[in-house]
Amino acid sequence: MRGKFITFEGPEGGGKSTHVKELAEQLRAEGRTVLMTREPGGTRLAELIRGLVRDEVDDPPVTRSEVLLFLAARAQVVSQVIKPALARGEWVLCDRFADSTFAYQGYGRGIDVKLLRQLNEFATEGLTPDLTILLDVPLETSRERLAERQAATATSADRIEQAGEMFHRRLREGFLELAKAEPERFVVIDSSGAREEVSKKVRDAVLSLEGR
């Protein structure tokens, strides 16, 4: 039987990577085989692309290149990692996927979302998540958590994190609109509350999927 494909989406500071790890541990404790991956990333080439799109460089990609770089990374991880794992019956948890392209490059950068959907269809050969968990946080919380993480890890904001406030507002609204348009795939969780509360909601969302 094909495994389940669950993606985590949302603005920065929503705790995606924490909740991906927690869910993976819970599912493994129940005896499931779980593959965790992230986007952009998950293969050697896709991790190299991750550096290219996030690093501050003197010749940053123009928006069209940015789209194509994210999609190139996606094509790699989908064909080399995600599809084979699903075919083996594994559960695949992915930190960001196509909705990030629609929110960041579509709503954020202003590229036509319909066009992005077509390009994404090409890159993924039509692979769609069974469940997408949108960890939503208000802009202020997102900014505070990002600043805390940077202080704790002695890093600075990457190229995309540095985009202005209006960009971040648009992409958060974009995620919420995407979720509204596909309520059967998305579960929206307010991630500004306590971590345990959010974990429980993530677990409940996944339980509802197990019956399907």
Footprint of ligand TMP on this chain (CB under 6 A)?
A: 12, 39-40, 70, 95-96, 100-101, 104-105, 160-161
With respect to ligand TMP, which residue has the nearer C-beta, 105 or 192?
A: 105
- Provide, rounded to whole angstroms, the least separation between the CB of residue 173 and ligand TMP: 15
Structure-token pair, residue 90: 């594994």
Q: Give the residue with the Cβ less far from ligand TMP, 100 or 124.
A: 100
Which one-letter amino acid corresponds to residue 54? R
Residue 106 structure tokens: 């579509």
Residue 208 CB, nearest approach to ligand TMP (Å): 25
CB 94 within 8 A of CB 8: yes
Residue 207 CA to residue 33 CA, distance in Å, equals 16
State the minimum distance, in angstroms, from the CB of residue 160 to ligand TMP. Answer: 4
Chain center to CA of 93 = 10
Cβ nearer to ligand TMP, comparing 101 with 124: 101
Nearer Cβ to ligand TMP (34/171): 171
Residue nearest to ligand TMP (CB): 104
Q: Which helix (H) or strand (E) holds 11?
A: none
Angle at CA 52, nearest 5°, toward 51 and 56? Answer: 90
Least distance in Å: CB of 58 to ligand TMP?
A: 20
Least distance to ligand TMP, CB of residue 174, Å: 11
Tell me whether residue 86 or residue 98 sits nearer to ligand TMP (CB atom): 98
Cα distance between residue 43 and residue 47, in whole Å: 6
Per the CB < 8 A criterion, the answer to whether 98 and 120 are in contact is yes
